[in-house]
Amino acid sequence: METFCKEEHIPRARCNTWPIQQPSNYTDVVQKPKKDMQKYGCRNNPWGNRSYAELITEAICSSPERRLTLAQIYEWIIYNVPYFSQKTDSKFSAGWKNSVRHNLSLHNRFMKMQNEVQGKPSWWIINPSEPNGKDQKTYSFCH
């Protein structure tokens, strides 16, 4: 088998067929910042240090009734986070909107509540029975 790269072969998962040469300081470059991010609660998101779940929680908690429809959550994010206000085109918004839906269904802190009006979209609320636990900082402004 002919080798295209003269560098030492690094074993990779089967789906990743090209070897990638890692710099000699790979652990310094990759591992230390990740530890710092966990230590200080920072994230490397283009919109800042809040996760989608934290954005959704903040959106719901900012509502006077403490409940929002999916469309209202999208609107809150677009209005309050400058990064997303530039990503409203359907070509660009499909990705982050999918992440919002994924987070709503993934996290136990969010609960879907049937709308009182027939045929209207459901409400998303903060699950009152979910313990605060490690998400205490996210809930703190909601209660």
Domain residue ranges of the chain, discontinuous segments joined by +: 52-139
| DSSP state letter for 10 | -
Q: What does CATH list as the number for 52-139?
A: 1.10.10.10
Which pLDDT belongs to residue 93? 78
Mean pLDDT of 8-18: 55
If pLDDT is split at 50, 70 and 90, which confidence band does 92 have?
confident
Residue 39: CB partners within 8 Å, gap ≥ 6? none
**Structure-token match 């998962």, residue found:** 13
Taking the CB of residue 104, how many other CB atoms lie within 10 A of it? 19
Q: Is the pLDDT of residue 14 over 90?
A: no
End-to-end, the C-alpha distance of the chain in Å comes to 63
Tokens representing residue 118 in the block:
């027939």
If pLDDT is split at 50, 70 and 90, which confidence band does 47 have?
confident
The candidate with the shortest Cα–Cα distance to 121, out of 69, 60, 64, is 69
Cα separation, 59 vs 90, in Å, equals 21
**Structure pTM?**
0.63
Mean pLDDT of 54-76: 95
